[in-house]
Amino acid sequence: MASAGRKETRFHGRVEGHEKVCAHPGCDAAGEFRAPPADGRRSDFDGPGQWRWLCLDHVREFNTGYNYFNGMSPDEIEEAQTPYGGWERQTRAFSGHGSSPPPKWADFLDPLDAIGARFQRGPERRKDGRELSDADRKSLRVLGLGTDADRKALRTRYAELVRRYHPDRNGGDRSHEKALQAVIEAYTQLKSRPVFA
């Protein structure tokens, strides 16, 4: 139980140790709660303006009769109530400092793999203990192979993807040229690596 000399601090918004008197006419109680200015000036770019300080009874009275939309036109009210309020302004980008960059979606065939890659603890190691560079891992993802793929799996997958994307196999359809180029580059990079010798 609180002592008689100490005030209850259970009210949200109370500013203790404040030496203001309640701004309500004729009240000399301590003004411990902030309220917007009496002239109705709204907060703007420069801040909320000059606060009024009210006692608990008068801040309750003020809150009961407060209407945020008082004095606004119907268009201003609608604009204030739109769920996209504020989104039309450009916001600053979040800093990427202190965290690793997210994986590129283009490096993955399956979006769930891309999401999971962000939270992996470290690079997956091969069962044979051989090291893979980041370029090797990226090339394996382009080909849709796991880190333990061997030379035979590499050749088989390469042949399968070339058949799938090559225009001669697709009736002259050249819409898969970028994918074909990525497959060829990935295979060329991997076939010369000692891991696949």
Would you list the domain boundaries of the chain? 12-80, 105-196
pLDDT digits (tens, 9 = 90+) for 21-46: 898 889 988 888 888 776 666 666 66
The fold of the 105-196 domain, in CATH, is Helix Hairpins (1.10.287)
Percent of the chain topping pLDDT 90: 11
Question: If pLDDT is split at 50, 70 and 90, which confidence band does 94 have?
Answer: low
* Half-sphere exposure in the Cβ direction for 145 (13 Å, CA): 26
Q: Give pLDDT, residue 97.
A: 62
Sign of CA dihedral 103, 105, 109, 112: positive
pLDDT digits (tens, 9 = 90+) for 54-66: 888 998 888 888 8
In Å, how far are 110, 132, 153 from 194, measured between CA atoms? 28, 10, 15
